[in-house]
Structure 1
Amino acid sequence: MQINLRVWQQKGSIMNRKKLVITILSIFLLILSGCTEKNNSEANKESTQTLGSNWGDIVAKAKGTKVNFFMWGGDEGINRYIDEWVTPKLKKQYDIELKRYPMDAREFINKLMAEKKAGKKSGQMDVLWVNGENFKTAKENELLLGPFTSKLPNFNQYVDVKSSDIANDFGYPTEGYEAPWGKVQFVFAYDSSKMANPPKSIEELKEWVKQHPGKFTYPAPPDFTGSAFVRQVLHETSKNYDAYLNPYNESLIKGEANQVWNVLNDMEPYLWNKGKSYPQSLAQLEQLYKNGEVWMTMGYDEANASNLIKSGEFPDTTKTFVLDKGTLSNTHFLAVPYNAPNSNGAMVLINFLLSPSAQLKKMDLEYWGENMSLDVERLSVKDQAKMNAIDRGPATLSQDTLSKHRVPEIGAEYVQWLERGWIDNVANH
């Protein structure tokens, strides 16, 4: 009986300890939950207040904070521009610590969608680099803080808000939910030591590919560059391209898409690796070019080839060209998520990136070489002179040539339709 009593006492002691642990854990979780709700509430309140604050208050609240910048990280020049130039300048001028997080736009949009669905009012992302279909998805699903651009002094002073490529992003109204960061144009790059006369149309390109099997390919959509190449084919084959600038009309794209698939399927057997596989990214395509496996590459950045010549990655004989009928151009943007933990700091960063000094430095081949998003006529005479003095590199076409061949982008719905169609009609053909 004593033994049984002792066992019972031991069991009771163990049960009491378990109850105590459970009680402590429950209290801890309640406290943590309360803190999380409080943090969520405070972050949501701050975001709302930011839109109602004046610029002086926004700058003051941003001082001493940290800003998380989520952006595509596939270009070392762009990464160095942020890490080596923007970050120290932002710290010195505003006492803001900037942290860059490399992530594709689709990934952080999906992350935001999940946070929205879970009711998460305080996230991790402060600034997003977006445009096109990703912006449309974010805006339609209420994933963005805004409208906020009217709060930015540099936006108000230097941006032409009436410009169609500022007011619209791939045909979708921006309405102040994103600020223009830069403008780019699609160009083709080639090794002039291996080909003297680059093609002037998609039809000529198709014939060149057949005559030089294995020396050309393009990234598989939905990769951004590969998707843009498919749209270039649409632009060349369409009988009514201007209609794509109007509201979405599925019958329009269905009526003309077969011409696009025919061109791409005619090319496919003569592509690199006989078209059995495609590069999955621009970086992979550029590596094929660096290795000499293909003689052409492409991209939505008119100065990229010059940048890579300067870094020694591309041969000095690299040049760029545009098609006679024109190449696509667009503006890319910066946005603030609905649940940004530091919306004040986010807006200060975006305003800084729209300053003439930051935009001029971005044009310099030391880092990026990209065209600015600001209206040149609104710059001071001194800044205009600085811009005209910038050497954009040996492979970069003149601004006059680029502007004469600039073609507007189509709506995001068409982009998505073509990406799905490529998989069904080309990749799985």
Structure 2
Amino acid sequence: MFKKILALFLTLGLLTAPLAGCRQTASLSPDKELLQADFSQIQKEARGQTVAIYMWGGDESVNRYMDEWVAPRVEKELGIKLKRVPINDAREMINKLLTEKEAGKTKGSIDIMWINGENFKLAKDNDLLWGPFVDKLPNYNRYIDGEDYQIKYDFGEDTEGLEAPWGKAQFVFIYDSNKIASPPDTVEALKAWIKDNPGRFTYPAPPDFTGSAFIRQILAGVSSNYDRYLTASLDRESLETEITPLWDYLNQIKPYLWQKGITYPENIAKLNELYAQGEVYMTMSYNPNYADNMIKQGRFPATTRTFVLKNGSLANTHYLAIPFNAPHKAGAMAVIDYLLSFEAQLAKFDPANWGDGLAISLAKLSPEEKEKLKQIKPGKAALSPEELEKYKLPELSGAYVDIIEEGWFNHVAKN
């Protein structure tokens, strides 16, 4: 309905355009002028602005990096006050922007949004994003390989310059090495382990991000031709027919899950609590360094380690985008450019801060920058970059995510 209303407005706009005469074409809109301006002009306009970045607030390491490392430097070097606004789920931002778009609200409250996957596709399909802007950013042009598949495509969707890559992530399982001497390394071995250890494994219920990712991780392991899911080439009926082995697998392990699969943790935080309390022996994350962060905080046992499945480990890029009605677009561009600088990426990569994967290309680094990067070592709970790279798989098309989540509810949760 929203798209139909928008289409009607656009049609009416075209019909009435001649009545506006030269007034409409006399000068560019401020947004267009911003995209055509030199970056030095953009930085000048950004100075003094307060930029609100909306982002998931459930990770203390991420929050600390933003509040204690990024914000003070952005204020000192750019003259911009960065305001982090925590949210529980990225869909909250999408719903807010959809409501504002339908109401014709041209000045919103979100300047930057942390986004990827199906939420990016939703935002893009409904014209909720401003840009394309990434080519205006000096650090994007200096450090980012825009032709890298995992940069150019977000869950199979062409980013078209509407979002800037911020970091890379990969799905890992987390376990207590005191309780599991040799963790399973394939989907079939995982199934066998779950059956041999009833009640010691579970996963968050979708649409929790990590729970949904776990289901896609299993799909990658049980599929004979995972590559066909990378683009939106299948209609809903064909997809649902092809992924029946996924529901078979999840239903086979269901009786052996925590609470016998009658209930699931509502989110990853609940699963992490179960793991920390020893009720389950595994948890999971889309951040390969998450286990180390939790050990440092004293929330996971020191014997915690991570592993990936040899069937393949899902990997993706997460991004920063600017909404169509962001009130401080110049400030948003300046902040995003700063977050793509080598210094900011290096600090983010450091497990002492966040431990997030680099969005910048190693091939574009200077010898001095490469040497600085070598000085940062992964924690003892993390896998080496070489091990992660060896089993990396790209994410499937974002067009399939909602269908898979609905399928889980209908074919697994309701069984």
Mapped pair 1:415 → 2:401? yes
Which structure dedicates a bigger proportion of its chain to helix? Answer: 1
Deviation string 1:38-74 (CA, Å, 9 cap, x unpaired) is: xxxxxx9543332121101100000011000000101
**1:173 maps to which residue?**
158
1:43-58 to 2 correspondence within 5 Å?
A: 45-58=29-42
1:295-374 to 2 correspondence within 5 Å?
A: 295-374=281-360
Mapped pair 1:218 → 2:210? no
CA distance in 1, matches of 2:400, 2:93: 22
Mapped pair 1:124 → 2:137? no
SS at match of 1:108: helix
**2:60 maps to which residue?**
76
Q: Pick one of 381, 385, 398 that aligns with 1:399.
A: 385
Name the aligned partner's letter for residue 360 of structure 1: L
Deviation string 1:54-96 (CA, Å, 9 cap, x unpaired) is: 1011000000110000001010000000000100000000110
**2:216 maps to which residue?**
231
Percent identity at matched positions? 51
SS at match of 2:251: helix
CA distance in 2, matches of 1:248, 1:230: 20
Name the aligned partner's letter for residue 63 of structure 1: R
Name the aligned partner's letter for residue 72 of structure 2: P
1:149-160 to 2 correspondence within 5 Å?
A: 149-160=134-145
CA contact (8 A) 1:215 1:296 kept: yes
CA contact (8 A) 2:121 2:399 kept: no
CA distance in 1, matches of 2:313, 2:239: 19
CA distance in 1, matches of 2:126, 2:353: 35
CA distance in 2, matches of 1:51, 1:426: 48
SS at match of 1:68: strand
Q: Pick one of 367, 375, 386 that aligns with 1:389.
A: 375
SS at match of 2:354: coil
Which segment drifts farther, 241-250 or 261-270?
A: 241-250
CA contact (8 A) 2:187 2:311 kept: no
SS at match of 2:169: strand
Name the aligned partner's letter for residue 347 of structure 2: K
**1:263 maps to which residue?**
249
CA contact (8 A) 1:327 1:407 kept: yes
Q: Pick one of 154, 165, 181 that aligns with 1:196.
A: 181
- How many residues were matched structurally? 386
Deviation string 1:280-335 (CA, Å, 9 cap, x unpaired) is: 11111111111111100111011110111122111111111011111100000000
**1:286 maps to which residue?**
272
SS at match of 1:220: coil
Deviation string 1:352-390 (CA, Å, 9 cap, x unpaired) is: 000000000001112210111000111121211111110
- Deviation, structure 1 residue 252: 4.2
Deviation string 1:241-261 (CA, Å, 9 cap, x unpaired) is: 111123330354223221111
Name the aligned partner's letter for residue 87 of structure 1: A
CA contact (8 A) 1:248 1:413 kept: no
Deviation string 1:369-427 (CA, Å, 9 cap, x unpaired) is: 01110001111212111111102200111111110100011001111110110011111
CA contact (8 A) 2:232 2:400 kept: no
CA contact (8 A) 1:182 1:373 kept: yes
**RMSD value, Cα:** 1.1
SS at match of 2:32: helix
SS at match of 1:150: helix
CA distance in 1, matches of 2:370, 2:231: 35
Name the aligned partner's letter for residue 64 of structure 2: R
Deviation string 1:141-190 (CA, Å, 9 cap, x unpaired) is: 11010100000000001000110011100000001000000001000010
SS at match of 1:266: helix
Q: List alignment gaps of at least 5 residues for structure 2.
A: 1-27
1:23-62 to 2 correspondence within 5 Å?
A: 45-62=29-46
